[in-house]
Amino acid sequence: MPPRSRKPAAGVPVQAIAHPTDRRVHLPTADGQEFVSPDAARIEQVVKKRDSSLDPQLVWIGKEQQDAEDLVVEAPPIYIQEKIAPRTLVEEVRRASESSRDRGNEQLGLFADDYADFDGLDDWQSVEYYQHEANWSNRMILGDSLRVMASLAEKERLRGKVQMIYIDPPYGIKFGSNWQMSARKRDVKDGNLADVTREVEQIKAFRDTWELGINSYLAYLRDRLLIAGDLLTESGSIFVQIGDENVHLVRCLLDEIFGLDNFVSLITYSKTGGATAELLPNTSDFILWYAKDKSVVKYRRPFQAKVLRGAGADKYDRVELPNGQRLPLSADSLSTGRPYRLDNLTSPRVREARTGYYPVEIDGKSFIPNSGEWKTHREGMRKLTLAKRVERTGNSLSYVRFLDDFAAFPLSNNWSDVGGVQSRVDPKVYVVQTSATAVQRCMLMATDPGDLVLDPTCGSGTTAYVAEQWGRRWITIDTSRVAITLARQRLIGAKYPAYLLADSVEGRAKERQLSGAEPPPSAPGQDIRKGFVYERVPHVTLKSIANNPEIKEGMTRQEIDAAIARHADTELLYDRPYEDKKRVRVAGRFTVESLSPHRPATFSVGEEQPSGTDVNAYHKTILDNLAKAGVQNGWRNERLEFASLAPHPGKLIHAEAARRNDDGTSARIAVSVGPQYGTVDADWVKDAAREALRGVGFDLLLVCAFSFGGRASEAAGEFAPEGDDFATVAEQRQLGRLPVLLVRMNADLAMGDTLLKKTGTANLFMVFGEPDIAIDPAPDGLVVEVRGVDVYNPTTGELRPDNGVEDIALWMIDTDYNGEEFFVRHIYFAGREGKPDGLDPYERLRKALRAQIDESAWASLYGHRSRAFPRPESGKIAVKVVNHYGDEVVKVYEV
């Protein structure tokens, strides 16, 4: 039974923070590769000098050889894969709601389509990459963080533009503790073969990091810290989250790179719970904070609320009753009294004119300072006594400090109230997910709204999630497609408090109410860089009372207290902006990007290059196993087996094989082996097919790779002749007269012979069919359905459908595809019968908008059949399907 519709209430505006005054370099898209000029495609180099004369340095195996040469890092172009506007996605669901249709779609005019002017460029500028400044959108980048950061610095001129960097590197050397293999499984156990990542980029990252144990870990991390430091602005900060295993070593690295003088603090916070140990359990993790230049570092002081008899207020042991009587603190007196403490009224400092040394008469007795001087001058002391802020304590005088004089206290570097990821509001979705509270505190201390934050260790996207909440711009990077899949899903469905912007009509009215100050004469412009309207606490000090111009003889106690309040300082609480409860806020526009689109992961200049022997050994391992295992499609007994297989001296054709067909004829097969660490893209498929067609004709081409770019299937389809017997899917297409099979290699092949001996040769080479996608007409336009997977039988060449859709994590549609960029206009998540399979990305938004969007519209987000959409003006749609391993396939259809 479908979910019941609900009568909607008045429309709730859905907001997203924009950054209209900020720009970003206009990047090429994966769809528009043909427009990329040679200059834009050129790989630059970033050179960092090694300096052995810096502060005392840590020494490890191999460091001397590293220091003998400069650090040289490739800076390749970055390509945009997707453009995403979460607000438009939510409004599209509202548009589809039956209740909205019943009311004539009256809500659709509330907001413009965020895709309409995504980049802010005209048609000509939109294909001139790296030449123009586009509208700002936040960024999620797939690739090696070293090369990505080098590209940001060199090709995009972001050197010195980042306000904060947050790095959460691997804590220890457990192989499984640094990633998860699937978006649906985060219970990862080290040593369990079922939990080993299937991403060779992750395997390469792990080997680069831990090949020589802690020695290679330090070398790996130092290079990334060097490049990251280049991106920081002079007032910027870098935070490195680390465990107790390596915190002392990483601090030495940071001392070397940023300087001892730029160390700010070592922050300690609690883990998710106690650990069992033979000795004293370690229950803390650490955050190392360094400044680019400590003398000018940006710092917004954080505060915590004082708790009587607890944090920040354990010494408030007296109360003043309404009648003025003062007593020791007790349960009875606390109910009606005003808590206070006695503080020092003298200073050890002695002024040259001795203006603080004079007698003070209290209760008929004269007092002089026991040492030093009074903290204020004679007139100031007179005002303190009039305000009843001086109390006799034995043979001396003390200052009366009330708890409500300043109900907060500065936060220290011991964050005992911060634990692990336990929140039901923001649940754990990744194996090594960072605590959002820890990231939030760092961000609020070191940045302002509109500042740029970078996280080269994206994981589940916690830094991006927090930056989005607090109006910071963000860039996040990861080598894992699973991590990017989870982070994308998390940001698309995020719901945030709608904080009042200081530069808004409502914000100015609230600020005037709080401070009494008149707003500026200019019209409000919604500029996030002017910040939010924050809660504030009065900060009454001895100095503010002593210098208060209103306090004089004859005033009542109430009048004096009111004068004190009027002249008190205030402290802004940067973690407590005012919220508009009548509005809902979602994430702003962001893009999903990758290094030059799905190129093989190459080694940076200065890294150890793979020798010809290493490449030959890799090819030999692949071909030996291919000869033994053949190619399977996942069905029992359906396997392509070879009569022979031998190396072939080609550029992209690495082997020639033969098989005997059922009719007695023989077939010649070309084999192209993709890179050991990287992805095969559309260009690789095209070039391999052209090479196979030249000279001696092959009957079949196998392109073997650990992963394929989403456009690899389209490369095969471009040259398909009329009357193609293979279905129009990625893994079975013909280039000209040559059938091409895209064969996925099991990641066990990248792990070496030791692991292969454990796993065997079963299913090492698999021909997967791509999703079977159907497009059906509907009264409102078109409907797309992912019906299953087309499976190719390599023994017969036949194609048959398989209804399994269990591996699909999410799928997206650009309902008006222009051929140059992929706009995510529809998105659907894993689920059945309108219910999510696992985590529910839209849970909080669904609750916030339950009166405006009926349950049937929300249910449409979880399944494999789309909502109806109008026929596109472009005549094309594009469908992208992403599985739980982060692999994706893009299909373009003319409709």
pLDDT of residue 882: 85
Residue 881 belongs to some domain of the structure: no
pLDDT of residue 277: 65
Q: How far apart are alpha carbons 373 and 350 in whole angstroms?
A: 6
pLDDT of residue 525: 92
Residue pLDDT, tens place only, 541-558: 999 999 999 999 999 999
Q: How far apart are alpha carbons 518 and 511 in whole angstroms?
A: 9
Instruction: Count other C-beta atoms under 10 Å from residue 336's C-beta.
Output: 11
Domain shared by 261 and 385, yes or no: no
Domain end, chosen from 775, 791, 810, is at 810
pLDDT of residue 173: 47
Domain shared by 418 and 398, yes or no: no
SS3 708: strand
Domain shared by 122 and 211, yes or no: yes
pLDDT of residue 544: 96
We report the CATH number of the domain holding residue 164 as 3.40.50.150
pLDDT band of residue 232 (cuts 50, 70, 90) is very high
Mean pLDDT for the stretch of residues 836-841: 70
Q: How far apart are alpha carbons 784 and 787 in whole angstroms?
A: 9
Of 94-98, 274-278, 802-806, the least confident: 274-278
Judge whether residue 508 has pLDDT over 50: yes
How many domains does the chain contain in total? Answer: 3
Give the pair of three-digit tokens for residue 534.
């924050």
Judge whether residue 184 has pLDDT over 70: no
Instruction: Count other C-beta atoms under 10 Å from residue 637's C-beta.
Output: 7
pLDDT band of residue 46 (cuts 50, 70, 90) is very high
Largest CA distance in the chain: 122
Residue 621: half-sphere exposure toward Cβ, Cα within 13 Å: 23
The strand pairing partners of 777, in sequence order, are: 782
pLDDT band of residue 832 (cuts 50, 70, 90) is low
pLDDT band of residue 660 (cuts 50, 70, 90) is confident
Domain shared by 22 and 114, yes or no: yes
Q: Which residues contact 706 (CB under 8 A, 6 or more apart)?
A: 199, 200, 674, 678, 679, 744, 745, 747, 749, 750
Domain shared by 89 and 196, yes or no: yes
Residue 299 belongs to some domain of the structure: yes
Q: Which residues contact 162 (CB under 8 A, 6 or more apart)?
A: 231, 232, 233, 236, 452, 453, 454, 475
Domain shared by 779 and 759, yes or no: yes
Nearest to 579 by CA among 439, 698, 415, 469: 469
Residue 820 belongs to some domain of the structure: no
Judge whether residue 662 has pLDDT over 90: no
Q: How far apart are alpha carbons 264 and 290 in whole angstroms?
A: 5
Helix (H) / strand (E) containing 442: helix 436-446
Q: How far apart are alpha carbons 450 and 163 in whole angstroms?
A: 10
Judge whether residue 385 has pLDDT over 80: yes
Mean pLDDT of the chain: 82
Nearest to 502 by CA among 408, 574, 452, 453: 574
Give the pair of three-digit tokens for residue 19.
């950054």
Residue 208 belongs to some domain of the structure: yes
Nearest to 495 by CA among 12, 16, 6, 854: 16
Judge whether residue 433 has pLDDT over 80: no
**Pairing outcome for strands 495-496 and 473-478:** unpaired
The pTM assigned to this predicted structure is 0.84
Nearest to 715 by CA among 671, 741, 685, 679: 685
Q: Which residues contact 418 (CB under 8 A, 6 or more apart)?
A: 269, 270, 435, 437, 438, 441
Domain shared by 554 and 493, yes or no: no
Q: Which residues contact 243 (CB under 8 A, 6 or more apart)?
A: 171, 172, 285, 286
pLDDT band of residue 825 (cuts 50, 70, 90) is very high
Of 43-47, 122-126, 676-680, 736-740, the least confident: 736-740
Domain shared by 293 and 313, yes or no: no
How is 809-840 classified by DSSP, letter by letter? Answer: EEEEEETT--SS--EE-EEEESEETTEESSS-
Domain end, chosen from 768, 788, 810, is at 810
pLDDT band of residue 802 (cuts 50, 70, 90) is low
pLDDT of residue 6: 45
User: How many residues are there in the chain?
Assistant: 895
Mean pLDDT for the stretch of residues 464-476: 98
Residue pLDDT, tens place only, 588-609: 999 999 986 544 333 333 344 4
Residue pLDDT, tens place only, 416-432: 888 654 444 444 444 44
pLDDT of residue 723: 37
SS3 712: helix
pLDDT of residue 53: 72
Residue pLDDT, tens place only, 49-64: 887 776 678 888 888 8
Residue 770 belongs to some domain of the structure: yes
pLDDT of residue 304: 92
Domain shared by 236 and 315, yes or no: no
Does 636 or 581 have the greater pLDDT score?
Answer: 581
Mean pLDDT for the stretch of residues 170-195: 47
State the residue range of the domain holding 742.
612-810
pLDDT of residue 169: 85
Domain shared by 667 and 761, yes or no: yes
CA 252 to chain centre: 27
Domain shared by 235 and 286, yes or no: yes
Residue pLDDT, tens place only, 604-618: 333 444 455 567 888
Which whole-number Å values give the CA distances from 680 to 471, 636, 717, in the listed order? Answer: 37, 27, 16
pLDDT of residue 98: 54
Residue 128 belongs to some domain of the structure: yes
Domain end, chosen from 568, 595, 622, is at 595
Judge whether residue 435 has pLDDT over 80: no
Instruction: Count other C-beta atoms under 10 Å from residue 124's C-beta.
Output: 8
Residue 876 belongs to some domain of the structure: no
Instruction: Count other C-beta atoms under 10 Å from residue 650's C-beta.
Output: 17
pLDDT of residue 346: 93
Mean pLDDT for the stretch of residues 526-537: 96
Residue 131 belongs to some domain of the structure: yes
SS3 774: strand
Domain shared by 463 and 384, yes or no: no
Q: How far apart are alpha carbons 218 and 211 in whole angstroms?
A: 11
CA 847 to chain centre: 24
Nearest to 215 by CA among 63, 64, 362, 357: 63
Query: What ranges make up the beta strands (E) of 220-351?
Result: 232-242, 263-270, 284-291, 303-305, 307-308, 312-313, 318-320, 326-328, 338-344, 346-347
Which whole-number Å values give the CA distances from 868 to 96, 782, 784, 806, in the listed order? Answer: 8, 5, 8, 23
78 touches 593 (CB < 8 A) = yes
The strand pairing partners of 778, in sequence order, are: 781
